[in-house]
Structure 1
């Protein structure tokens, strides 16, 4: 196994350590702005916007952090980067917990 493969495996294995559990109730209070694109129940009315309801919390959290940090560039990344920019890590964890709970 080469060094790059080993490092990649370690990063993937350690990823859950960087994700904190969120508060779904606090996420619901913060999610009002998300409903314009992702729907009031986390199910988007427009086909080009993803449904967030029932998604894995870790996936949602890592995705929002990637938008915030400019690590995603496809699709609606410019819009999402602007939406995620003011969010704290706690806000992101709370939103992820809320949408995953739907």
Structure 2
């Protein structure tokens, strides 16, 4: 999870301009996306490096963690 936090933050809010915010994202989407990176179906150099070391259980845990983060959206005045 520490590797994920470098780009996506512990709070799921991107720390780098090219990284997406993943806080509150649907768990099923995150699992599918992470598996696609691992299988080489999605391409991103950094994600490919990070995902290599993750087991299916790790992927499930990462997805569960980031999807559980509650986000609030504020409508501009």
Q: Same fold (TM over 0.5)?
A: yes
- RMSD over aligned CA atoms reads 1.0
Structure 1, unaligned stretches of length 5 or more? 1-30
List structure 1 segments (4+ residues) > 2 angstroms apart after TM superposition.
none
Give, in angstroms, the shift of residue 85 of structure 1: 0.9
TM-score by length of 2: 0.83
Match of 1:60 in 2: 30
Could you say which structure has the larger radius of gyration? Answer: 1
Length, aligned pairs only:
69
Structure 2, unaligned stretches of length 5 or more? 70-77
Kindly indicate which of the two structures has a greater share of residues assigned to helix: 1
Higher RCO structure (Cα 8 Å, ≥6 apart): 1
